Amino acid sequence: MTNTTETSVSPFDELVTDLRVHRTMYTDPQIFVTEMNRVYGGTWTYLAHESEIPEPNDFVRRKLGLRPIIVTRDRNGEIHGLINRCTHRGATVCRTDSGNARSFMCPYHNWTFNNTGKLTGVPMHKGYGASFNRDELGLGRLRVDSYRGFIFGTLNQEISDLATHLGSVTDYIDQWLDRWPGAELVVRHGETRLNCKGNWKLIYDNSADGYHPGFSHASLLRMRKERYGVGVDMQWALGDTDAGKQTVTDLGNGNTFLDQRAEIDSYWDSAAPMPGQNPYANAVRAKLDDAAAKAALDVVVGSGMNLNIFPNLLIIGNQIQVIEPLAVADTDIVWYSTSLRAPDLPDEINSLRVRLQEDFPAFGEPDDLANFEECQVGLGIEEMEWVVTNRHIDTDTETLDANGNLTGLITDELPIRAFWRYWKKLMTSDTKLVAR
């Protein structure tokens, strides 16, 4: 990284522009450390879904950047984001991924904290003398807020409330959730954890990259076309997609949207094949009238939406994908399948949803992972400094949508430019980040 020059207000002004990005943004370990602190701590970052901790005293272990976090639901139902770090000497106090616990006892010297973070037990506490104040030694607490079950946390005490921060993202979350009106989303079916020896931003870059599918996933799409016929599974990604009806949109604060819906005539008819498809579909048709069965089968299938919520939540199809950075060139991508709970929705729909949600992580994501890892290899070359992010920046194809958000053709790289603008803002912000 070059140093700040006298005329530059930010060290990133030259390294990150709308036209190009310097390779070190993806390879510099110091940048990565700053990102984990400033980017992941300084904005609303996705932690978990409320349905993962449905009962009082349920918890899941998550991360905010590299900070270990416990997301808890206390006995009164309130949700907390606790920093999983003992206030005695720093050990993590919770070492299991999920469970039900009223308190967490640090294995090192057995200090005990309840699930709201309060320090409740210190062995032989008299050894600390009369001035010892337990109230000052609770676990660090994140500011947490939820939107329709999605729990976010931050260490930025000044950022606006979550719904305001998300802005028009909330419209798309609503559209995604309300595909079956009245249904409750359930995120509790295990996870598919994939690892990639690439920088975490390559994954975010890709999530609204409508340029790549017809090329990166060509073998999958062509195989589906040959075996199952025209129209099955994302074949609208083949050919000159700029002539098609898909779009990408900048939703502000680094959040972006890729919309395939205008290309989809029938979700069910264009679904990738799934094991048990016909018996399940027939069971649904036996339970519901024709129109309701069609509507129900449509919600089996991916929503046609990629909604990318900065910096780590990718709502893709019917799944939730979470980016978990581990090191500058080491990232876990975690896919959570989802089901819907509604009295008028047959169980077979959820069986099919889970089957279909096994499809892309197995057949499509390996294409992407291979490219992310190969990008990381190429980005390591010092003499080749830049990547370009200016596709469709000056082709006069961008417009403002009804919400005033910048929208472009599907292969426009405007989502990548939108990401970097907010990234730069967070990386150079002097807002003090604090645990409460």
Give CA–CA dist 142/137, Å, rounded.
Answer: 15
Q: Which is nearer to ligand FES, 91 or 387 (by Cβ)?
A: 91
Question: Does residue number 91 form part of the binding site for ligand FES (CB under 6 A)?
Answer: yes
Which of 52, 58, 145, 368 forms a contact with Fe ion (CB under 5 A)?
368
Give CA–CA dist 82/67, Å, rounded.
Answer: 10
Question: Does residue number 132 form part of the binding site for ligand FES (CB under 6 A)?
Answer: no
Question: Does residue number 109 form part of the binding site for ligand FES (CB under 6 A)?
Answer: yes
Do 72 and 116 touch, CB atoms closer than 8 A? yes
Which of 2, 29, 30, 108 forms a contact with ligand FES (CB under 6 A)?
108
Question: Does residue number 145 form part of the binding site for Fe ion (CB under 5 A)?
Answer: no
Give residue 14's identity as a one-letter amino acid code. E
Pick one of Fe ion, ligand FES, none as the site partner of residue 137 (Cβ within 5 to 8 A by kind).
none
Convert residues 347-366 into a mask of x (bound to ligand FES by CB under 6 A) and - (unbound). --------------------
Q: Which two tokens stand for residue 7?
A: 């005329």
Convert residues 44-83 into a mask of x (bound to ligand FES by CB under 6 A) and - (unbound). ----------------------------------------
Convert residues 237-276 into a mask of x (bound to ligand FES by CB under 6 A) and - (unbound). ----------------------------------------
Pick one of ligand FES, Fe ion, none as the site partner of residue 111 (Cβ within 5 to 8 A by kind).
ligand FES
> Where are the alpha helices (H) located in 120-194, listed in sequence order?
162-166, 169-177
- How would you classify the pairing of strands 112-114 and 103-105? antiparallel
CB of 60 to ligand FES, least distance (A): 21
Do 232 and 220 touch, CB atoms closer than 8 A? no
> Where are the alpha helices (H) located in 11-132, listed in sequence order?
24-27, 29-34, 40-42
Pick one of Fe ion, ligand FES, none as the site partner of residue 368 (Cβ within 5 to 8 A by kind).
Fe ion
Question: Does residue number 111 form part of the binding site for ligand FES (CB under 6 A)?
Answer: yes
Give CA–CA dist 105/92, Å, rounded.
Answer: 10
List Cα–Cα distances, 262 to 250, 266, 305, 401, in angstroms.
18, 11, 10, 15
Closest by CA to 372, choosing from 408, 405, 409, 325, is 325
CB of 249 to Fe ion, least distance (A): 18
Q: Which two tokens stand for residue 48?
A: 């978990």
Give residue 128's identity as a one-letter amino acid code. Y
Q: How many residues bind Fe ion (CB under 5 A)?
A: 1
| Contacting positions for Fe ion (CB under 5 A) | 368
Residue ranges in contact with ligand FES by CB under 6 A: 86, 88-89, 91, 106, 108-111
